[in-house]
Structure 1
Protein backbone atom coordinates (compact mmCIF):
# COMPACT_ATOMS: atom_id res chain seq x y z
CA UNK A 1 0.00 0.00 0.00
CA UNK A 2 1.33 3.44 -0.92
CA UNK A 3 2.02 5.70 2.04
CA UNK A 4 0.28 9.07 1.95
CA UNK A 5 2.19 12.12 3.10
CA UNK A 6 0.52 14.56 5.43
CA UNK A 7 2.14 17.90 4.77
CA UNK A 8 1.33 21.55 5.23
CA UNK A 9 -1.01 21.63 2.23
CA UNK A 10 -3.06 18.79 3.71
CA UNK A 11 -3.21 20.52 7.10
CA UNK A 12 -4.46 23.70 5.40
CA UNK A 13 -7.07 21.68 3.55
CA UNK A 14 -8.18 20.12 6.84
CA UNK A 15 -8.53 23.59 8.37
CA UNK A 16 -10.64 24.79 5.42
CA UNK A 17 -12.98 21.79 5.60
CA UNK A 18 -13.23 22.12 9.38
CA UNK A 19 -14.19 25.76 8.98
CA UNK A 20 -16.72 24.98 6.23
CA UNK A 21 -18.30 22.14 8.22
CA UNK A 22 -20.28 24.53 10.43
CA UNK A 23 -23.42 26.20 8.99
CA UNK A 24 -22.86 29.38 11.02
CA UNK A 25 -19.37 29.78 9.60
CA UNK A 26 -20.66 29.17 6.08
CA UNK A 27 -23.30 31.87 6.66
CA UNK A 28 -20.59 34.25 7.89
CA UNK A 29 -18.55 33.59 4.75
CA UNK A 30 -21.63 34.18 2.59
CA UNK A 31 -22.19 37.51 4.35
CA UNK A 32 -18.52 38.48 3.94
CA UNK A 33 -18.72 37.73 0.21
CA UNK A 34 -20.89 40.89 0.04
CA UNK A 35 -18.20 42.97 1.77
CA UNK A 36 -16.34 43.42 5.03
CA UNK A 37 -18.25 43.52 8.29
CA UNK A 38 -17.71 44.02 12.00
CA UNK A 39 -18.46 41.37 14.62
CA UNK A 40 -21.63 43.31 15.55
CA UNK A 41 -22.79 43.25 11.93
CA UNK A 42 -22.00 39.55 11.60
CA UNK A 43 -23.73 38.69 14.89
CA UNK A 44 -26.97 40.53 14.01
CA UNK A 45 -28.77 37.74 12.10
CA UNK A 46 -27.79 35.02 14.58
CA UNK A 47 -29.27 34.13 17.94
CA UNK A 48 -25.83 34.10 19.55
CA UNK A 49 -23.53 36.41 21.43
CA UNK A 50 -20.74 38.47 19.92
CA UNK A 51 -18.12 36.30 21.70
CA UNK A 52 -19.62 33.22 20.04
CA UNK A 53 -19.38 34.88 16.63
CA UNK A 54 -15.79 35.89 17.47
CA UNK A 55 -14.97 32.23 18.13
CA UNK A 56 -16.34 31.31 14.71
CA UNK A 57 -14.27 34.10 13.16
CA UNK A 58 -11.13 32.71 14.83
CA UNK A 59 -11.74 29.31 13.24
CA UNK A 60 -12.21 31.01 9.86
CA UNK A 61 -9.05 33.06 10.41
CA UNK A 62 -6.99 29.94 11.28
CA UNK A 63 -8.17 28.41 8.00
CA UNK A 64 -7.12 31.58 6.18
CA UNK A 65 -10.67 32.21 4.96
CA UNK A 66 -11.08 35.48 6.86
CA UNK A 67 -8.68 38.35 7.36
CA UNK A 68 -9.13 41.00 10.04
CA UNK A 69 -7.87 44.56 9.89
CA UNK A 70 -7.61 47.15 12.61
CA UNK A 71 -9.51 50.31 11.77
CA UNK A 72 -9.37 52.52 14.89
CA UNK A 73 -11.51 50.62 17.41
CA UNK A 74 -13.20 48.49 14.78
CA UNK A 75 -11.75 45.18 13.51
CA UNK A 76 -13.61 44.50 10.26
CA UNK A 77 -13.45 41.00 8.82
CA UNK A 78 -13.13 40.35 5.11
CA UNK A 79 -13.34 37.21 3.02
CA UNK A 80 -10.20 35.59 1.65
CA UNK A 81 -11.49 32.88 -0.70
CA UNK A 82 -8.05 31.77 -1.93
CA UNK A 83 -7.74 28.81 0.50
CA UNK A 84 -10.95 27.41 -0.99
CA UNK A 85 -9.10 26.85 -4.28
CA UNK A 86 -7.27 23.84 -2.80
CA UNK A 87 -10.57 22.45 -1.48
CA UNK A 88 -12.24 22.85 -4.86
CA UNK A 89 -9.26 21.19 -6.56
CA UNK A 90 -9.47 18.26 -4.13
CA UNK A 91 -13.22 17.89 -4.67
CA UNK A 92 -12.74 18.10 -8.43
CA UNK A 93 -10.94 14.75 -8.35
CA UNK A 94 -14.07 13.15 -6.92
CA UNK A 95 -16.30 14.90 -9.46
CA UNK A 96 -14.26 13.24 -12.19
CA UNK A 97 -14.61 9.90 -10.43
CA UNK A 98 -18.40 10.23 -10.17
CA UNK A 99 -18.75 11.49 -13.74
CA UNK A 100 -16.83 8.45 -14.95
CA UNK A 101 -18.98 6.17 -12.80
CA UNK A 102 -22.18 7.69 -14.16
CA UNK A 103 -20.88 7.35 -17.72
CA UNK A 104 -20.22 3.66 -17.08
CA UNK A 105 -23.70 3.26 -15.61
CA UNK A 106 -25.24 4.96 -18.69
CA UNK A 107 -23.34 2.56 -20.96
CA UNK A 108 -24.56 -0.43 -18.93
CA UNK A 109 -28.18 0.77 -19.05
CA UNK A 110 -27.99 1.26 -22.83
CA UNK A 111 -26.57 -2.24 -23.20
CA UNK A 112 -29.31 -3.74 -21.02
CA UNK A 113 -32.04 -1.93 -22.99
CA UNK A 114 -30.61 -3.26 -26.25
CA UNK A 115 -30.71 -6.79 -24.88
CA UNK A 116 -34.37 -6.28 -23.91
CA UNK A 117 -35.14 -5.11 -27.42
CA UNK A 118 -35.63 -1.45 -26.50
CA UNK A 119 -33.19 0.53 -28.70
CA UNK A 120 -33.45 3.79 -26.67
Structure 2
Protein backbone atom coordinates (compact mmCIF):
# COMPACT_ATOMS: atom_id res chain seq x y z
CA UNK A 1 0.00 0.00 0.00
CA UNK A 2 1.37 3.38 -1.04
CA UNK A 3 2.10 5.84 1.80
CA UNK A 4 0.84 8.85 -0.18
CA UNK A 5 -2.75 9.72 0.66
CA UNK A 6 -5.03 9.84 -2.37
CA UNK A 7 -8.70 10.51 -3.00
CA UNK A 8 -10.79 7.48 -2.04
CA UNK A 9 -8.30 6.21 0.56
CA UNK A 10 -9.46 5.25 4.03
CA UNK A 11 -7.72 7.08 6.85
CA UNK A 12 -7.75 7.12 10.64
CA UNK A 13 -7.58 10.29 12.75
CA UNK A 14 -6.89 10.13 16.48
CA UNK A 15 -9.91 12.28 17.37
CA UNK A 16 -12.35 11.98 14.44
CA UNK A 17 -11.84 8.26 13.74
CA UNK A 18 -12.14 6.56 10.34
CA UNK A 19 -13.04 8.41 7.18
CA UNK A 20 -12.77 8.48 3.41
CA UNK A 21 -10.57 11.01 1.63
CA UNK A 22 -12.66 13.21 -0.67
CA UNK A 23 -9.93 15.61 -1.86
CA UNK A 24 -6.19 16.20 -1.56
CA UNK A 25 -4.65 19.67 -1.82
CA UNK A 26 -0.98 19.40 -0.95
CA UNK A 27 -0.73 18.48 2.73
CA UNK A 28 -4.39 19.46 3.36
CA UNK A 29 -6.74 16.49 3.11
CA UNK A 30 -10.54 16.69 2.99
CA UNK A 31 -12.22 13.76 4.71
CA UNK A 32 -15.78 12.52 5.10
CA UNK A 33 -15.60 10.89 8.54
CA UNK A 34 -17.74 7.82 9.25
CA UNK A 35 -19.23 9.13 12.50
CA UNK A 36 -20.69 12.23 10.80
CA UNK A 37 -21.30 11.42 7.12
CA UNK A 38 -21.46 14.51 4.93
CA UNK A 39 -19.57 16.64 7.48
CA UNK A 40 -16.38 17.13 5.44
CA UNK A 41 -13.36 18.23 7.48
CA UNK A 42 -9.99 19.50 6.25
CA UNK A 43 -7.04 17.98 8.14
CA UNK A 44 -3.28 18.11 7.73
CA UNK A 45 -1.87 14.87 6.34
CA UNK A 46 0.54 14.54 9.28
CA UNK A 47 -2.43 13.89 11.59
CA UNK A 48 -3.70 10.97 9.51
CA UNK A 49 -2.83 7.32 9.21
CA UNK A 50 -3.68 5.64 5.92
CA UNK A 51 -5.43 2.36 6.70
CA UNK A 52 -6.57 1.24 3.25
CA UNK A 53 -6.24 2.26 -0.35
CA UNK A 54 -9.27 3.18 -2.43
CA UNK A 55 -9.47 -0.44 -3.60
CA UNK A 56 -9.83 -1.93 -0.09
CA UNK A 57 -11.93 -1.25 2.98
CA UNK A 58 -11.23 -2.29 6.59
CA UNK A 59 -13.37 -4.95 8.25
CA UNK A 60 -15.00 -2.31 10.47
CA UNK A 61 -16.39 -0.56 7.38
CA UNK A 62 -17.96 -3.75 5.98
CA UNK A 63 -19.20 -4.85 9.39
CA UNK A 64 -21.00 -1.52 9.82
CA UNK A 65 -22.65 -1.96 6.38
CA UNK A 66 -23.65 -5.52 7.34
CA UNK A 67 -25.15 -4.42 10.65
CA UNK A 68 -27.20 -1.70 8.90
CA UNK A 69 -28.59 -4.22 6.39
CA UNK A 70 -29.30 -6.81 9.09
CA UNK A 71 -31.04 -4.26 11.32
CA UNK A 72 -33.20 -3.00 8.43
CA UNK A 73 -34.23 -6.55 7.51
CA UNK A 74 -35.05 -7.48 11.13
CA UNK A 75 -37.11 -4.30 11.58
CA UNK A 76 -39.08 -5.04 8.39
CA UNK A 77 -39.59 -8.64 9.48
CA UNK A 78 -40.79 -7.61 12.96
CA UNK A 79 -43.23 -5.08 11.48
CA UNK A 80 -44.64 -7.82 9.23
CA UNK A 81 -44.89 -10.26 12.15
CA UNK A 82 -46.56 -7.64 14.37
CA UNK A 83 -49.28 -7.10 11.79
CA UNK A 84 -49.94 -10.84 11.79
CA UNK A 85 -50.00 -11.20 15.58
CA UNK A 86 -53.76 -11.64 15.53
CA UNK A 87 -56.34 -12.59 12.94
CA UNK A 88 -59.07 -10.44 14.56
CA UNK A 89 -59.64 -7.93 13.30
CA UNK A 90 -58.53 -9.21 9.92
CA UNK A 91 -55.27 -7.61 8.79
CA UNK A 92 -55.52 -5.19 5.88
CA UNK A 93 -54.36 -6.98 2.69
CA UNK A 94 -52.74 -3.84 1.24
CA UNK A 95 -50.81 -3.20 4.44
CA UNK A 96 -49.68 -6.84 4.60
CA UNK A 97 -48.53 -6.71 0.99
CA UNK A 98 -46.59 -3.48 1.61
CA UNK A 99 -44.96 -4.92 4.74
CA UNK A 100 -44.06 -8.12 2.91
CA UNK A 101 -42.56 -6.12 0.03
CA UNK A 102 -40.46 -4.10 2.50
CA UNK A 103 -39.23 -7.31 4.10
CA UNK A 104 -38.45 -8.83 0.70
CA UNK A 105 -36.45 -5.76 -0.36
CA UNK A 106 -34.48 -5.77 2.87
CA UNK A 107 -33.82 -9.51 2.55
CA UNK A 108 -32.67 -9.04 -1.07
CA UNK A 109 -30.15 -6.43 0.14
CA UNK A 110 -28.86 -8.90 2.76
CA UNK A 111 -28.53 -11.63 0.11
CA UNK A 112 -26.72 -9.27 -2.28
CA UNK A 113 -24.24 -8.33 0.46
CA UNK A 114 -23.61 -12.02 1.26
CA UNK A 115 -23.13 -12.82 -2.44
CA UNK A 116 -20.57 -10.00 -2.72
CA UNK A 117 -18.80 -11.33 0.37
CA UNK A 118 -18.68 -14.81 -1.14
CA UNK A 119 -17.11 -13.36 -4.31
CA UNK A 120 -14.45 -11.61 -2.21
CA UNK A 121 -15.61 -8.08 -3.00
CA UNK A 122 -15.44 -6.87 0.62
CA UNK A 123 -11.70 -6.59 0.99
What range is the shorter-chain TM-score in?
0.3 to 0.5
Higher helix share: 1
TM-score (norm 1): 0.38
Structure ID, larger Rg: 1
- Between 1 and 2, higher relative CO (CA 8 Å, sep ≥ 6) is seen in 1
Higher strand share: 2
TM-score (norm 2): 0.37
